[in-house]
Copies of this chain bind each other. A is one copy, B any other.
Amino acid sequence: MSEPISAEYARRIEELYGPLTQSLRKLIDVVIRSQAGDDDVTRAHGLIDQAAALLGSRLDDEPFGVRATTEGGILTWGNVAMGVRNAIAFPLQIEHDESGRASADLLLGAPYEGPPGHVHGGVCALILDHVLGATAHRPGRPAFTGTLNLRYMAPTRLGKLRAEAWIDSETESKTIAVGELWDADGVLTVHAEGVFIRPKAKT
């Protein structure tokens, strides 16, 4: 992990990039659903290239990774599921309760489509991998997926979703987690079980 980032600087960057990334999520969506005239599409393409040139004038060579703040916080700005600077991210905001249960509420639109009107099965897998994994992380000891078994019970309609996961059993190095995904009508659509491995903390 690189040098800690000042917590104040991190807050400023999040205030700058958070709303920009939210705008970019909207742009991803309208690119799919647009029925604009050709001239407007061509102009929009030019604006996208201009924005990329401005932001790309100074670039970090590396992906963002995981970085620490001076206040002991962890920044995962680039994470594909939860990154505040990653427009692919839903973003997933995980809530933890006292029992170790992890949950997340999501709203998925056109960009996450697989079968018509429904969430891609692989996106359901991404959500559940992340929420199950969240039960297994410990401070300074992130957990990695060992196995993940998914059972698709019903198609998952685009719209509001809820994911929950809990610990089935665990040892010092391993958590077995179980979780479920529900659609807006409260239908259980995907069931998941996974083994998550915690490498030993560096001493």
Contact = CB atoms under 8 A, between A and B. Distances in A.
A80 B44 contact: no
Interface residues of A, number: 87
B49 A23 contact: yes
Contacts of A48: 20, 23-24, 27, 47-48, 51
Total copies of this chain within the assembly: 2
Residue with the greatest number of chain B CB neighbours at <10 A, chosen from A56, A60, A83, A149: A56
5 contacts: A17-B31, A36-B58, A51-B51, A122-B122, A147-B149
Interface of A: 1, 16-17, 19-21, 23-24, 26-28, 30-38, 40-45, 47-52, 54-66, 77-81, 83, 85-88, 109-117, 120-123, 125-130, 133, 142, 144-152, 155, 158
